[in-house]
Structure 1
């Protein structure tokens, strides 16, 4: 069985989350320097069977695309060239960073640990993936 992988794309770092093979549980995988994201994906797809990639879709409160969508579209064009057979779905990622930060507080992480932006990105990717699984 194959997994679903989710990305919380950022210009500096990208949070990555993945499901188990039964596609029941979303777990944070890692945070990758965005410059190294394509190579990370190539390596990961070689090791693991992935049937779908879910990419966060940042929107303003009014539902219009956020400014970072330009960078995501550029990434998606390159992704389609590198992995032409890999399907991509988009998932609204509004408020995921705030939800990730609240998750960190609720889990008892100390203030110093909550300042780890890479962890916020990884948790955000997990929330994006959980939302996708819930809405399917």
Structure 2
């Protein structure tokens, strides 16, 4: 399971060190794509295969389903962890997530999220302020 928060820097060539704690679960190759809330999602290949199966089930006749699939797949890229534990993020994903240098790599069960440190700090502050309200709504999902 992917859990925890780690701060790392991305270099000028788009290389980002993957936290050692995540490397085994992510594998040597994994998929990175646009995520929600302005971050990037990283999926181990096994999780990616499951997501692809679910996306294939979306109705082609629904405009929102087509738009989501296009946006999600068009930015998806397979990354490889090098001998130093780094991945190379494409420029379009770096720009999407507005990552300048400092970023956070967050474990979220079956995926990672890569955030600009500034955006993560804003999100975390807001989530902390509203955590009890958010927790109450989770009851509706059986938590």
Q: What is the TM-score of this pair, normalised by structure 1?
A: 0.28
More strand by share: 2
Q: What is the TM-score of this pair, normalised by structure 2?
A: 0.27
